Structure 1
Amino acid sequence: MSCCVSNQSVIVTGAASGIGKACATYLLEGGNRVLAVDLRQADLNAAFPAPSPALRTLAADISDTETCAGIVSTSVEVFGRVDGLIHWAGRHSIKTWDELTAEDFDALLRVNVTGSFLIAQAVARRLIAQGEGGAIVLTGSTAVIHAPIGGTAGNGGPAYVTSKAAIGGMVRTLARALGPHNIRVNGVAPGVTETPMISNYAQSSRALQIESSPFGRIGSAEEVAEAGCMLISAASRYVSGEMLIVNGATSFG
């Protein structure tokens, strides 16, 4: 499939694996410039071994305010501008309600919720300064619909589900706040997707997911990534404040 975006400078977080890597690859193949961000430089080097003038990798922790500002500054320094953000980075937790501590909960929210806000905030400030609008995509999850309880099956537990539920509200409030600046904010809520995040799923969980999907399979990272890219494209120029469910109708089975 040809890329729906071209000649854009896009920050992609969580880019070393899974959906983030698929997204960065898709954008690069479409003729875009990508700042690929993840926590460890070694993982980014392994994901993108071939140098390209259209690609810059950066190891960074998005749960820190100054670091997020630095991510944006790097994109401006290398590519001259920022046109959009697709934020896939996040943490998973399968701890059950009675296993979780306050420290566990706060650590997950710091990355999945506060980190999402901080990187969106940093990018929005730059987009406003440029004065040409832009687009931001954050990541939720259909775990908010299914409400898994965690445990040995590998599904997300209460901390993870809560963190992803917060993204829907964040998307809506940021969309209203940034709309006057011609900045669109949307979210993608993937279902279970073939990524390293589900590597610890029990076979019974995988089988149940396949059985409940009308397509009879688990979705690919590429399919979710392409949906995220659509939301920063001109094809979605009047779409803002929405959470796009990408799970092959599994939620409705």
Structure 2
Amino acid sequence: MRTVVVTGSASGIGRALKGLLEADGHRVIGVDLRDADVTVDLTTDAGRAELVEKVTALSGGTIDAVVANAGLSNGSPATLAVNYFGAVATLDGLRPLLAGSDAPRAAVTCSMASLLPVDDRLVELTLEGDEAAALARAAELTEAGTGDIIYGSSKAAVAHWLRRAAPTADWAGAGIPLNAIGPGIVQTGMTREMLSTDESTKAVEAVVPMPLGGIMGPEVPAYLLRFLVSPENSHMCGQVVFVDGGSDVVFRSDKVW
């Protein structure tokens, strides 16, 4: 039995992953704002510190995997705070607990939205680690009516961070594969409103083409996350694996392989 920490475990992809892992006989320490083993707010430093403290206590100081899955998409600075700073704090904060595992693994939920237009200044400030300045920039975008770009920008920053961090001594050098998934449009609470009518669904599909299978249920990316944090995944390092029905290849064709 492995012990896996999953943030955003109360709904969507996180809940689907929790179910898969528990069905496999593993222990899941769920983290969310509600209905979880650890209830914390990952938009705050206090919540991130409390996450580490409570997971350490519940796990006895050793975990086998962590999945930083919690996310928002509401066009506000909180989206950036959770999607990037909360995710990185989760992974960095819980990394020491992986040292006692025979097969430590880590993953983060990115998105195909990372391939869409982003706010370069927001991504730059985020990657510099200046949370106050990045949140101020996000607030400017929200006030200007362009807050929708925050989500994709936050996920692009996650992808950049992943590629930089994964091969370092802290991760690959410590024997910890660190990777990400890049889902397309998933039927979750986050997307419920945008998929609420045939007209709105068609509008989404026009922006995010998914020629293979179309819009997916949360179990589809959850299956991929299950593999990424399994002992069988021994050599993937810093990969954003797109499970997007083909959006990546439609957008980038053979320019990336």
TM tier, smaller: 0.7 to 0.9
Whole-Å Cα distance in 1 between the matches of residues 240 and 210 of structure 2? 20
What does the per-residue CA deviation read over 1:7-66, in whole Å, with 9 as the maximum and x for residues that have no partner?
A: 21000110101100000000000110110111123xx4xxxxxxxxxxxx2212234342
> Which residue is equivalent to 2:174?
181
AA aligned to 2:88 is: F
AA aligned to 1:185 is: L
Whole-Å Cα distance in 2 between the matches of residues 156 and 201 of structure 1? 16
> Which residue is equivalent to 2:122?
none
AA aligned to 2:192 is: S
Are 1:9 and 2:17 an aligned pair? no
AA aligned to 1:125 is: P
* Bigger mean CA deviation after superposition, 60-69 or 16-25: 60-69
What does the per-residue CA deviation read over 1:82-129, in whole Å, with 9 as the maximum and x for residues that have no partner?
A: 0001121011124xxxxxxxxx43x3322111111111012111123x
Contact 1:24 1:36 (8 Å CA) reproduced: yes
> Which residue is equivalent to 2:132?
none
- The alignment of Structure 1 onto Structure 2 pairs a total of residues equal to 217
- Partner of 1:215, secondary structure, is coil
Instruction: Report the TM-score when normalising by structure 1.
Output: 0.77
1:137 aligned to which of 107, 122, 145? 107
Whole-Å Cα distance in 2 between the matches of residues 113 and 213 of structure 1? 25
Are 1:166 and 2:157 an aligned pair? yes
> Which residue is equivalent to 1:69?
52
- Partner of 1:12, secondary structure, is strand
> Which residue is equivalent to 1:25?
19
Displacement after TM superposition at 1:71 (Å): 3.6
AA aligned to 1:87 is: A
Contact 1:137 1:186 (8 Å CA) reproduced: yes
Are 1:222 and 2:219 an aligned pair? yes
Whole-Å Cα distance in 2 between the matches of residues 200 and 209 of structure 1? 11
> Which residue is equivalent to 2:92?
121
> Which residue is equivalent to 1:98?
none
AA aligned to 2:83 is: N
**Aligned residues with identical type, % of pairs:** 27
Are 1:206 and 2:201 an aligned pair? yes
Displacement after TM superposition at 1:156 (Å): 7.8
2:38 aligned to which of 28, 37, 58? 58
**Alpha-carbon RMSD:** 2.5
Query: Larger strand proportion, structure 1 or 2?
Result: 1
Whole-Å Cα distance in 1 between the matches of residues 83 and 113 of structure 2? 14
